[in-house]
Amino acid sequence: MIDEIKFYEPQDSYGFLSNFAPAPITLSDVVWPTSEHYYHAQKFVDPAIQQQIFNAETPDEAFNLSRQYADQVKDDWMEVREAVMRYIVFEKFRQNPRLAHLLVSTGDRVLTEHSHKDAFWGDGGDGSGRNTLGKILMEVRNYFSNKEPYNLVHFVESAKLPTQWGTFQMYGFVEQATGKEHLALVYGDLDPDTPPLIRLHSECLTGDALFSARCDCGFQLSRAMENIVNAGSGVLFYLRQEGRGIGLINKIRAYHLQDQGADTVEANERLGFAADMRDYSFCRGMLSFLNIKSVNLMTNNPRKVRAIESAGIKIEKRVPLQEGNNPHNENYLKTKAAKLGHMFDKEFIK
Ligand SMILES: Nc1nc(O)c(N)c(N[C@@H]2O[C@H](COP(=O)(O)O)[C@@H](O)[C@H]2O)n1
Ligand SMILES: [Zn+2]
């Protein structure tokens, strides 16, 4: 049996594939509300008809107008219509990164416009149609599937996450290169033109879930979530990079060496690892999915600042996150400052 996605109504599942789905597309400083509006306007030479279709309140109205003026459709329309459709469908996804990510997330499933009204663009309702729109969508998917940032992570699903601070929307991603599962916890509405308050939080099972006082992770996690809720919106990225990228069991080995006197950097190195093995490049995929172009970044870690900048994201402001200093992590925090360049105030690590 073929693995197929059938789409039709924009409000149904996979409705984003439909040309009737809202997806602003800017061409020559003009914003078309849907690919359907653009497609129908191109049938005509008369600028007044084009303008009327552009102004249509809904894609259905744009469609009906094109039928109303059927006798004025340009002579070569049947020869060029497929190229016009290919162009506007490509632009729809290029200009709406979230939609491009969702398209890539359909994997290699067959995409079929299940339309009983149309046997050229759709499947004709009984599967006998040409499904030309589905084929174009699969060509466009093929293009984005091989292109960064769309090939860095694969979005799977989202759900509510109520917490003691407020209810976040939790987005689940799979990192393509490693298969690791990462989260973005989004609070409030993100405005693409306003930098959100964000944190890239690397997994620390012992600190985040087991209340360890050996490090500052759990304390930073709570404060970051609280700060995001107080700011009204923002994102906590929960990255599955346990133990600065060496994994939980190796982190326990490193802790064992630290119990015998090594500092956090020496312990990693004695185990044959670099001081910090984390690679943040996949974060660009999650940031692009959320349409984030600039941020206020909660961190003390200069490597995270560089990681965000090298993802092409502007850091409007770095927000220090100095939390949880205690007798058990005094040396750890001092080593982070001295050897890993963490930016702490003097009073925080005295
Ligand atoms: N390898 C290793 N050795 C230690 O001594 C540690 N405390 C950790 N902790 C891990 O570091 C990450 C958090 O560091 P940042 O605050 O983001 O710089 C997190 O993955 C912890 O599990 N690792
Ligand atoms: Zn920790």
Q: pLDDT of 76-88, one tens digit each?
A: 999 999 999 999 9
Could you list the beta-strand ranges (E) of 299-341. Answer: 314-319
Answer yes or no: is 243 a known binding residue. Answer: yes
Q: How far is the CA of 214 from the centre of ligand 1 (A)?
A: 10
Q: pLDDT of 133-142, one tens digit each?
A: 999 999 999 9
Residue with the smallest CA separation from ligand 1 atom 23 is 243
| For the CA of 241, the nearest atom of ligand 1 | 20
* pLDDT at residue 1 greater than cutoff 80: no
Q: How far is the CA of 265 from the centre of ligand 1 (A)?
A: 10
Answer yes or no: is 283 a known binding residue. Answer: no
This complex has an ipTM of 0.97
According to DSSP, residue 205 is labeled I
| For the CA of 214, the nearest atom of ligand 1 | 7
Q: Which residues are catalytic?
A: 276, 278
**How far from 254 is each of 43, 264, 338, CA to CA, in Å?**
67, 7, 18
* pLDDT at residue 343 greater than cutoff 80: yes
Residue with the smallest CA separation from ligand 1 atom 12 is 244
- What residues flank ion ligand 2 with Cβ within 5 A? 204, 207, 215, 217
**Domains in the chain, ordered, with CATH?**
4-145 (1.10.357.40), 153-241+278-340 (3.40.50.10990)
Q: What is the mean pLDDT of residues 145-171?
A: 97
Residue with the smallest CA separation from ligand 1 atom 11 is 244
C-alpha dihedral sign at 184, 189, 191, 196: negative
Q: What is the number of the ligand closest to the CA of 335?
A: 1
Answer yes or no: is 167 a known binding residue. Answer: no
**Residue among 214, 251, 344 to mutate when testing ligand 1 (max atoms within 8 A of CB):** 251
Instruction: Give the pLDDT score at 112.
Output: 98
Q: How far is the CA of 251 from the centre of ligand 1 (A)?
A: 8
Q: pLDDT of 282-328, one tens digit each?
A: 999 999 999 999 999 999 999 999 999 999 999 999 999 999 999 99
Q: How far is the CA of 298 from the centre of ligand 2 (A)?
A: 16
How many whole angstroms from its chain centre is CA 23?
17
Question: Which residues does ligand 1 sit against, CB inside 6 Å?
Answer: 202-204, 215, 217, 241-244, 246, 251, 254, 258, 264, 268, 301
* pLDDT at residue 60 greater than cutoff 80: yes
Is residue 336 a contact partner of residue 223, using CB atoms and an 8 Å limit? Answer: no
Phi, psi at 99, each rounded to 5° = -65, -35
| For the CA of 278, the nearest atom of ligand 1 | 20
Q: How far is the CA of 249 from the centre of ligand 2 (A)?
A: 13
Q: Which of 316, 322, 96 is nearest to 196 (CA)?
A: 316
Residue with the smallest CA separation from ligand 1 atom 1 is 243
Q: pLDDT of 179-207, one tens digit each?
A: 999 999 999 999 999 999 999 999 999 99
- Tell me how crowded residue 90 is: count the other CB atoms within 10 A of its CB: 18
Residue with the smallest CA separation from ligand 1 atom 8 is 243
Is the bond preceding 320 in cis, omega lying within 30 degrees of 0? no
**DSSP state letters, 32-76:** ES-HHHHHHHTT-S-HHHHHHHHH-SSHHHHHHHHHHTGGG--TT
Q: pLDDT of 144-153, one tens digit each?
A: 999 999 999 9
Q: What is the mean pLDDT of the chain?
A: 97
Instruction: Give the pLDDT score at 335.
Output: 98
